[in-house]
Homo-oligomer: A and B are copies of this chain.
Amino acid sequence: MSVTAPLGFRAAGIAAGIKTGGARDLALVVNDGPSRAAAGVFTRNRVKAAPVVWSEQVVKGGKVRAAILNSGGANACTGHPGFQDTHVTAEKTAEVLEESAGQIVVCSTGLIGERLPMDALLPGVVTAASQLSRDGGLAAADAIRTTDTVSKISFKRGEGGYMVGGMAKGAGMLAPALATMLCVITTDADVPADQLDAVLRRAVAVTFDRLDTDGCMSTNDTVLLMASGASGVVPDPAEFEKRITGLCADLARQLLVDAEGATKAIAIEVVGAASEEDAVTVGRSVARSNLLKCAIHGEDPNWGRVLSAVGVTDAEFEPDRLNVAINGVWICRGGAAGDDRDKVDLRPRDVTITVDLSAGPHAATIHTTDLTAAYVHENSAYSS
């Protein structure tokens, strides 16, 4: 179902020959309206891929007819010729849809620094358009995978009967903002572009933006939200935001669980912070400690590595008032050893590390994974 769960959307996913090996590598998602309201959030990396530079401009107009997405190449760091490739891709998509290129979002994912095989991609656009259907959501979600072992899709029904649906990809280079991810979210609710934009920014900030598996920020991250209005439902704003946030959280969780080489899903829950910003800063610092991530992989409740990661931040805290629990056992109290570390059960896949800064009422959770030999293997053997 994914992006075609809501009314007004068709999709396709095909093998255009961009990847070697014959796997699907080109997805097309079309909004048949009646509305074309859209919003997008993009990577904050200053080295932006050509499709990001293009699509940021498209989304500023507030209207998107379609998104064309390829795996098998990021089209990042490809200079002016690469930007031209994106432009030509948008033009070709517009042509087959009898549309303006100014309403075509382009997304790419894969190896940085290489040109896309346009002789495969452009005929692929025509094929994809010919296969557009109301059932095409799963094929589209499959076509955007790189090292993802499974497709990531989600859909939810909102109050009054409207639908939201989405697909995402991303397995490595997951860090704010965003992850190395592409995500397309659709809805048949009738919501104007400025409201979509506000909702999407807030939803991304507390979901995708709090995922940090390897601290590496991508050049291509894109989250696109398109509304067709085809259900005729004008949703309650708060309820709609809750629905979109829930969908993003669901997809973010799927990205986390499928992160490269991961055997643990680790929630770094920071409480007692003087501000939410402090909580996020501390959570990120802990989530990026390679030493801690190795320890959790080895099922070693090494809370000293948590404290040493807290200590490098500028958050408000006193070292001798820090408390740390791992899976509910407060093994560090007042900055020193607390309950017996042998009580910590680290065998389950899900691990929660709670850091209490004892400095205020604010909290935030950052999601990360363990660091494994499989991560090293995947990222040293695969040019991605």
Contacts and interface: CB of A to CB of B under 8 A. Distances in A.
A112 B304 contact: yes
Given A113-B337, A308-B219, A332-B113, A290 B379 contact: yes
A335 interface: yes
Interface in A326-377: 332, 334-337, 371-373, 375-377
A305 interface: yes
Contacts of A298: 379-381
Interface in A94-149: 111-115
Contact of A111 (B77, B114, B304): B304
B47 A307 contact: yes
A354 B46 CA distance: 19
Contacts of A236: none
A112 B307 contact: yes
B112 A305 contact: yes
Contacts of A290: 214-216, 290, 371, 375, 379
B335 A79 contact: yes
A216 B289 contact: yes
A313 B46 CA distance: 8
Interface residues of A, number: 65
Chain A's interface: helix, strand, loop or mixed, by majority? loop
A368 to B, nearest CB: 12
A112 to B, nearest CB: 2
A289 B300 CA distance: 24
A291 B214 contact: yes
A379 B294 contact: yes
A45 B290 CA distance: 16
B112 A319 contact: no
A295 B380 contact: yes
A172 interface: yes
A201 to B, nearest CB: 20
B47 A319 contact: yes
A238 interface: no
A48 interface: yes
Contacts of A337: 77-78, 113-115
Interface in A248-301: 288-291, 294-295, 297-298, 300
The 3 A-B pairs of least Cβ separation, nearest first, read A112-B304, A298-B380, A47-B311
6 contacts: A46-B312, A216-B291, A294-B376, A294-B380, A297-B376, A300-B380
Given A47-B308, A78-B336, A294-B378, 17 more contacts: A44-B312, A46-B313, A77-B335, A79-B335, A82-B336, A113-B337, A215-B289, A215-B290, A216-B305, A216-B308, A218-B308, A295-B379, A297-B376, A371-B376, A373-B377, A375-B376, A376-B376
